Structure 1
Amino acid sequence: MSWTLLLSCLWIIGAKIASMRPSEHKHWPLAYALMPLGVPIVLLAWWEHGAGVAFFVLAIGMVVLRWPVIYLGRRILRLVKGAGDGTA
């Protein structure tokens, strides 16, 4: 196993362990810390193993951080719908 895949597994395990603890802020500070740590791991996976493995690592990261992805998708849809009717 390469170092990149080991890092991605450790990132996932760390995210899951950290998400098990109680939080007043619904784990948003944790998500804000994990997102910038995950981007270099995806880029390293792309560089070392190619696009297929990088997309797999990205998909697993999106499953772990599903609510930020859902909110980003909603925001993009709102912007696209707003731009279509001239109220951007």
Structure 2
Amino acid sequence: YDRILAQGIEFYHSTSSADLIARMTNNAQAARSVLDLVVTSYVRDLVTLIVLVGVMVWQQPALSLICFVVGPVAIYGVNRILKRVRNIAAMEFR
């Protein structure tokens, strides 16, 4: 909206009002569609994750405890290794 308001007089002489209204409407609808999709997917995935963790704890409590203890340590280790690999790769490409 701000970009349209910032245009010069020549822009408005060469562009019809119907075209401007169509652009604004279509862009707003596209943004809303993307936002709806992202929010819906995020909520659905979050609920799925919570339910699956609950099922995991209910079916195998001991194994779940091991996963909750070992998992973060493993993720931390993998992230450190990846950081080293990225640094080495960045040095070789300089």
Same-fold call, TM cutoff 0.5: no
Report 1 or 2 for greater relative contact order, CA contacts < 8 Å, sequence distance ≥ 6. 1
Q: By percentage of residues, which structure has more helix?
A: 2
Q: TM-score range by the shorter chain?
A: 0.3 to 0.5
